[in-house]
Amino acid sequence: MHAVRRYRVLGRVQGVGYRAFAWRTAAALGLRGWVRNCFDGSVEVLASAPAAVLDELEQRLREGPYLSRVDRVEVSEESPNQELGAGFAVRRDA
């Protein structure tokens, strides 16, 4: 069974290729969901996969791309009824 988790990544994560990094990482892991910039300067990721795969995603989100600085990643479990689409997408800013 797939879990759904929301990640809020805080630090220097906008303007440094973080969304593209998250998209590539999620696609490589075979996740469904999306990533977007938030107006407060954070990046939000919503992803669905088996729990072990989501744990791997979280580890990679904490590392981030070369130019980023991840200060904190907030994680919350979400309802599995989320509409995530067929693949992983970059969404418009929220």
Burial of 76 (0-12, 13-18, 19+ CB in 10 A): exposed
- 37, 60, 72, 81: the active-site residue: 37
What does the pLDDT average to over 4-14? 97
Q: CA-CA distance, 57 to 67, in Å (whole number)?
A: 18
**Is the predicted pLDDT of residue 13 greater than 90, yes or no?**
yes
Q: What is the pLDDT of residues 44-64, one digit of tens each?
A: 999 999 999 999 999 999 999
Please say if 19 is a catalytic residue: yes
Q: Write out the residue range of the structural domain in which residue 39 sits.
A: 3-90
- 19, 24, 81, 91: the active-site residue: 19
Number of domains within the chain: 1
CATH number at residue 69: 3.30.70.100
Which amino acid is residue 76, in one-letter code? S
Please say if 6 is a catalytic residue: no
* Number of neighbouring beta carbons within 10 Å of residue 94: 10
